Structure 1
Amino acid sequence: MERDWRVRDISDCDLELLPEVFSWPKLCSQSEAVERLAFMGTLEDSTVKDALCKTPRGVHALPLPLRVENIESSALKLPWWPDLDAPNSLLPGLFETGHIFQMINIEQNDRVLLIGPRGNWWTEIILHLGARKIMVLETDNNRREALQKRWGDLRLDIVAKALNCEIEWCGLEYINEGSSDLWDKIMITGGLNTMPSNLLKRMDINGEIWAPIRNNDRSILQKITKEIFGEIKSQQITLWDVDMLERYTENILCGSLVFEGNLIEGNLEESPDLIRDAWFYANKNPTRDRLGPESLLDIIQEVWDSKDILIEKDNMSVKDSIAKDLFKMGHVLQKIGIFRIAAEHHGTSYLLSPSAESACYLGMTYSIDNEDSLAWQRKAIETNPHFGEAWNEIGEILMKRDEVENAINWFREAIASKNYSKRGVAWINLTRAQMELSQDVSAFFSAQRASELFPENKEIEELLFYLSEDLV
């Protein structure tokens, strides 16, 4: 005989019967993260791979007000300048950086003009790729002075000398100087609206300009080449959602203005409060500095905008903010099927600021026959017993293990949870479980509740039709 479908019986929902967490994924070192990119086939150039292994991203970021082990290997962007409103104030991730340098293909003894350096990280990478000369053009005098000081503090001037690479620094005035310098590669890391025509005279024969140029509402990385007879060609490569350069800078690079003086200068001091805010908001705009197909950028934006899962606290600290960003990035990685790295983002997020969300989604990265899939759902419920998704996940795992009767109790607890935006999913799961046990009356009422929450779901309509026929 069927039990009353309305009765909530969770006598079998005993957390003590579930396994405890055995493995705890955490962010790996940068060198290991680079090796993984190579293993996955997204980083095929061995020279770029070696350069990324030699140039730790974290040392070029602003000092972090707390310890987050291996934050440089995460997929998050890191701030190198405290004013995030200024363009190019972030260090892109390893994925974006590796792809860009693979495409640009800097060769031994190349002369490189870098406009809009990303801290000193990309300059150091170019150094290790074998460039003979690097000209770093930073439009803001204060930022340029800070970069030069940091370069010396990290003793990178000694490294450059050992590698026989000449490093120079300049501002916008360089563009209109009568210098005879010609460059093999010109890299611009901020967005433009048109081709930087004023730089064409700075290209050597067979030289290249790599610049993100605006197309509709997003910038596209373009490769501009000068052929042997002076012919200029432009090729669109991929989306790169970068900050637009200041209008004054763009006008000079694109030839519509002549440099008359530096109009771009701030008096920003790297105070603890500004550094804290930079880390707090570094990933607020999720697609900023992201590279890839539009579908990937859309997934990132969708996860950040999602109202289904909110890790919010009163008076959030920097630690809480970074934990939230790590969780969201882990969710993105999950959506595109990179489960191991997703788990490491979730695990580090939980270590920083324990949340049921990070534990629950970490558990989802394991296969159902792995005990950690249940263990992390247990951890989620222990962290916040009102987080319904973890109860539902346990029910789904038990269903897949053919423990249907046991699963029903967990689905009911998910439905009763205070914090569960996807309650309809648990009702659908409960319907299926009850049908498995031939509890058609209970299944019919459960399907009705699911239909109230998902009124346009075709599968639920079919279930209701099927179940109502049996009840006649």
Structure 2
Amino acid sequence: MVEVRNQGPGCLDTSAVQYLPNRILLVASNWDESDGSDCDLMSLPKCREEPVLPSEKIVIERMEESGVLIDINVKNAMIASSRDLALWPLPKELGIPCLASSALTLPWWKYADERGALLPSHYETVQIMQMLQMERGARVLLIGPRGSWWTELILRLGASEIQVIEADDERREFLENNWIERGLDILSHDLGCNVEFFGIERVKISEIEVNSECWDRILITGACQELPRRLLRRLNQNGVGLVSVGPEGASMIRAITPDDDGGLYVESVTMWANDELDPRLFKSITGTPSNGGLSDLQLRAEIGESSRENSWIGIGDHSLRDRAGPVRLLEAMDQLWISMGIENGSTDLDVVMADRLFRMGNVMQNIGMFDYAAEHFGASFKLRPSAESATMIGWNFGIQDDDDEAMAWCRRAIETDSHLGDPWNDIGALLLAKRKVGEAMSWFRAAINSERSLSPGHPWSNMARAHLMQRNSRAAFFAAQQAIIHMPDDAELLMLLDELGSDLC
């Protein structure tokens, strides 16, 4: 995973190329001779730290420190509530400490592939709650509650009345029972808030208009094909409505406020890759039928038995489901999610969850959240030890200039599975940074000859730099040529090849 860049030249000279008139003949002499036996693994330090997922409180405090969370009332409500208690229970044999603190979207309902069955992460939740601009005494209409977590947050933010709309009878019964089991009915009584759960008939738009009903806040958590203007006109003056409009998985959050002329001011905020609103609900709140979509009962028939048996398997491998943010960020997250994983085709839940935690760690790492990334990799390793997750933990320690711990985790990766080349390369890169060139090259050779690699071009690129430090341009040119096969768009590598090629010609 690690490349060493911009290192100075060394002093040793070996040859990997021969000159012929007007051309260069490349000769690979000993690239395939190393199996790592000349690398002193036992001399490396052992791990002192084992990253684990943080508490929900720490996640929330980090969002405040980064400037994402700016509303103190939302912060207090988030800390007082619990995403963990709103999750569908994990199987007893599978314990993942603080899983609710991860950036993964997780199920609150037993059929995770159904629309609206996931709990968004803390990031999406903070964004939505801040957009609502809750005020004390607000009357709130919540369509598509996403378990009990968001309802609890709205309660803690000062609502005087919350009308929760869930189209599915079974899910609505579960929500009501869960609300009572968690003691949230007592909390709502103590806070002076009336919380009621209703089905589709409660939001029949014609009856709402006849009865002149109005709300201070309206939150619709499913994607609508068009703006439900008739319902949103039931906002009180100074009210706020939030709804995502557009196709499923690519809708845009719209913030709606009434204007002085009786119309609606609509502001586009950001993309939300949420599930489509139940077509029955869409018809009820707009008075017009949806153009497509299946009912939840129809969806269940298409999900399959494996998802029915285990909601945690049924989450699916779609990294963007229920993510919110700018389009470019979501596209980058999706590419990062699919670019690197450790799943080996098994449907065992521990393997599947370890892979998802690893992929999310890779996403967090590439957007600069290194602590959070290491914690996801650590959770993945603890759940299902892999050389890949140990290597990435080491890489994150290296980024933070803790070379001893970085080497220790690379050692642990090799001890877990010596066939992965990346930890061999990363150890070599750390040694090369200390100008231990000959020693580093042994590790690069072991990485080059490994059975598999997450980044096969990096050991070749590092080997090229090692040869440059030894003033061996010919060998450096050969190694750089091998690196460019795996990294054809690497600008610095292309420049190096250009310079070396010109010198050798």
TM-score by length of 1: 0.92
1:111 matched to 2:124: no
1-structure distance, mates of 2:155, 2:68: 22
- The aligned counterpart of 1:186 is 218
Q: Which residue of 2 aligns with 1:427?
A: 460
Residue identity in the other structure for 2:422: E
Q: How does 1:350-361 map to 2 (within 5 A)?
A: 350-361=381-392
Instruction: Check conservation: 1:194, 1:254, Cα contact below 8 A.
Output: no
Alpha-carbon offset, residue 468 of structure 1: 4.4
1:374-413 per-position Cα deviation (integer Å, ceiling 9, x unaligned): 1111111111111111111112222222222221111111
1:277 equivalent among 299, 305, 310: 310
1:223 corresponds to which residue? 255
Give, in whole Å, the separation in 2 of the partners of 1:214 and 1:385.
Answer: 48
- State the Cα distance separating 1:455 from its structure 2 match: 5.4
User: 2:248, 2:274 within 8 Å by CA — same for their partners in 1?
Assistant: no
Q: Check whether the contact 2:461–2:479 (CA below 8 A) recurs between aligned residues.
A: yes
Give, in whole Å, the separation in 1 of the partners of 2:504 and 2:325. Answer: 52
Q: 2:248 touches 2:273 (CA, 8 Å); kept in 1?
A: no
2:119 to 91, 94, 102: 91
Aligned pairs for 1:167-316 (under 5 A) are 167-176=195-204, 177=207, 178-214=210-246, 218-256=250-288, 277-306=310-339, 309-316=340-347
Residue 144 (structure 1) aligned to one of 147, 162, 172: 172
- 1:463 is matched by which residue type in structure 2? L
Q: Is the 8 A contact 1:368 1:400 kept in 2?
A: no
How far 1:267 moved relative to its partner? 11
| Contact 2:165–2:198 (Cα < 8 Å) also in 1 | yes
Q: What residue is the counterpart of 1:325 in the other structure?
A: 356
Q: CA deviation at 1:201?
A: 4.4
Superimposed CA distance per residue, residues 188-224 of structure 1 (whole angstroms, 9 cap, x where no aligned partner):
0000011112313432122222100016971011011
Q: Partners of 1:216 and 1:317 in 2: how far apart?
A: 29
Pairwise CA RMSD: 2.5
Which shows bigger deviation, 432-441 or 363-372? 363-372
1:448 and 2:481 equivalent?
yes
Alpha-carbon distance change, 267 to 43 in structure 1, aligned in 2, over 3 angstroms = closer
> Are the structure 2 counterparts of residues 422 and 342 from structure 1 closer, same or farther at C-alpha, using a change threshold of 3 Å?
closer
Aligned partner of 2:96 in structure 1 is: 68
Change (3 A) 1:210 1:471: closer
Mean Cα deviation higher: 325-334 or 311-320:
311-320
TM (norm. structure 2) is 0.86
Cα separation, partners in 2 of 1:255 and 1:197, compared to 1, 3 Å: farther
Structure with larger RCO (C-alpha < 8 A, sep 6+): 2
**2:142·2:220 contact (CA, 8 Å) conserved in 1?**
yes
**Contiguous gaps of at least 5 residues in structure 2:** 1-11, 17-28
CA distance in 2, matches of 1:92, 1:455: 37
Shift of 1:315: 3.1
Report the 3-state secondary structure (helix = DSSP H, G, I; strand = E; otherwise coil) of the residue aligned with 2:222: coil
Contact 1:197 1:255 in 2 (8 A): no
What is the CA-CA distance between 1:423 and the residue it aligns to? 2.1
Secondary structure at 1:68 match in 2: coil
Three-state SS of the structure 1 residue aligned to 2:409 is helix
**In 1: Cα distance, 2:149 partner to 2:240 partner:** 21
Deviations 1:403-442 (A, max 9, x none): 2222111111110000125322211210111011112332
Structure 1, unpaired ranges of 5+: none
> What's the counterpart of residue 58 of structure 1?
84
Q: Number of aligned pairs? A: 465
Aligned partner of 1:379 in structure 2 is 412
How high is the sequence identity, in percent, across the aligned residues?
38
Q: Which moved more, 1:162-171 or 1:275-284?
A: 275-284
Shift of residue 275, structure 1, vs aligned partner:
6.5
Closer, same or farther in 2 for the Cα pair 1:437/1:95, shift >3 Å?
same
Whole-angstrom distance in 2 between the partners of 1:299 and 1:213 = 22
How far off is 1:257 after superposition?
5.4
Task: Report deviation, 1:352.
Answer: 0.4
Alpha-carbon shift at residue 456 of structure 1 (Å): 6.2
